[in-house]
Amino acid sequence: MRGLDYITDTCPGYNLGKAYKRVTREFEKEFRSSDLTLAQFALLVNIGRHEPASGSDVAFRLGSDLSTVSRTIELLVSRNLVTQERGEDRRVRLYRLTEQGRAALAEAIPKWRRARYEVLSRLDRSSWQRTLRQLRALAS
* 3-state secondary structure at position 85: strand
Please give the C-alpha separations between residue 97 and each of 15, 25, 72, 105, 134, in angstroms, as whole numbers.
35, 26, 14, 9, 31
Quote the pLDDT of residue 140.
Answer: 84
* 3-state secondary structure at position 83: strand
Quote the pLDDT of residue 1.
Answer: 63
Quote the pLDDT of residue 88.
Answer: 79
pLDDT along the chain (140 residues), means of 10: 84 93 94 93 96 94 92 96 88 94 96 94 88 90
Q: How far is Cα 59 from Cα 63, in angstroms, rounded to an integer?
A: 6
Give the list of residues 6+ apart from residue 14 with CB closer than 8 angstroms, or none.
7, 8
Quote the pLDDT of residue 124.
Answer: 87
